[in-house]
Amino acid sequence: MRRFDRAAEYLARSAARSTSRRGFIGRLGALVTATGAATLLPVSRVRAEKAAVPIQVQEEGDPNSCDYWRYCAVDGFLCSCCGGSASSCPPGTEPSPITWLGTCRNPADGRNYVISYNDCCGKAACGRCNCSRDEGASPVYQPTTANDLDWCLGTQVGVAYHCSLSVVTGPAD
């Protein structure tokens, strides 16, 4: 289940500012392209992994912030704020084996990467760090790039949605 909270943003800001498009237009350079990376869906091979895996050394930005580059097409609670990280599910949840994909531009190297937005599943919503950036997201009848869908399909723990990962699956170019 994807959280839709531009509304909250609007509530917080004055209605008068609602025509500002800076935040959205600025991200258009990273227009999502769904690539053949559907075969690259990253599923945990190492469930024995314990600590949250941090972002990679050559990255920039704060993964607890909605502005972090990998989140260009995310829509949900950030697992980074829920006891996990951008690529690690919080304890007691299970990553979805299938998901939707986006493409985001890494400002540190100028490259585009295919990002896999696996859900972490089996617990009620985390409720922290709600982040909605729908760049390139499609309607639900085009599921591979649809972020309105609960992607907790095929898990052992059921479809309850807890939070969303943003996992680097490889360069997009």
Partner 1 sequence: MRSRRFKMLAKMLAGGFGVMALATTTACAAPRKAPPAPKVPVLAVEDVTTVELKDRIPPHWLVVNDVVFTHLLDGRAYIVDGDKGEYLGMVPGGHSHVGVQFTPDGSHLLMPGTFFARGSRGERTDVITWFALKDLMPGEEVVIPPKRIQSLPLLSSIPLTDDGRFVLIYNFTPEQSMTVVDAEAKSVVGEFETPGCALAHMTGPRSFMMQCADGSLQSGALDESGKITLGATTQPLFEREDPASDKPVRISASRWLFITFAGAVAEVDNASGTPTPGARWKLTGPGEDAWRPGGLQPYTFHAPSGLLYVLMHQGGPGTHKHPGTEIWVFSVASKQRVARLPIETPSTAIEISKDADPLLYTALFGSGTVVVRKPADASVLRKIEGLGNDISVLQAPPVVPAAGPAK
The residue annotated as part of the active site, out of 5, 62, 67, 100, is 100
CA distance 101 to 114: 7
Q: C-beta of 162: minimal distance to partner 1 in Å?
A: 8
CB of 107 to partner 1, least distance (A): 11
Answer yes or no whether residue 161 interacts with partner 1 by CB under 8 A: yes
Residue 122 within binding range of partner 1, rule CB under 8 A: yes
Residue 60 to residue 145: CA distance in whole angstroms: 25
Distance set, CA 45 to CA 6, 32, 59, 135 (Å): 35, 27, 23, 29
| Shortest distance, position 129 Cβ to partner 1, whole Å | 8
Q: Token pair for residue 39?
A: 């075969």
Query: CB 68 → partner 1: shortest distance, Å?
Result: 13
Asked if 14 touches partner 1 (CB under 8 A), the answer is no
**Would the annotation count 148 as a binding residue?**
yes
59: which residues sit within 8 A by CB, 6+ positions away?
69, 106, 108
Phi, psi of 73 (to 5 degrees): -125, 15
Question: Is 134 known to be catalytic?
Answer: no
- Using CB under 8 A as the binding rule, the residues of this chain from 56 to 95 that contact partner 1 are 56, 58-59, 73, 81-85, 87-95
**Size, binding site for partner 1 by CB under 8 A:** 114
Q: Is 173 annotated as a binding residue?
A: no
Is 109 noted as a catalytic residue in this protein?
Answer: no
| Catalytic one of 69, 119, 134, 151 | 119
The rounded distance, in Å, linking the Cα atoms of 115 and 126 is: 21
Helix (H) or strand (E) holding 11: helix 6-12
Binding positions: 75, 147-149
Residue positions annotated with a catalytic role: 100, 119
Annotated binding site for substrate: 75, 147-149
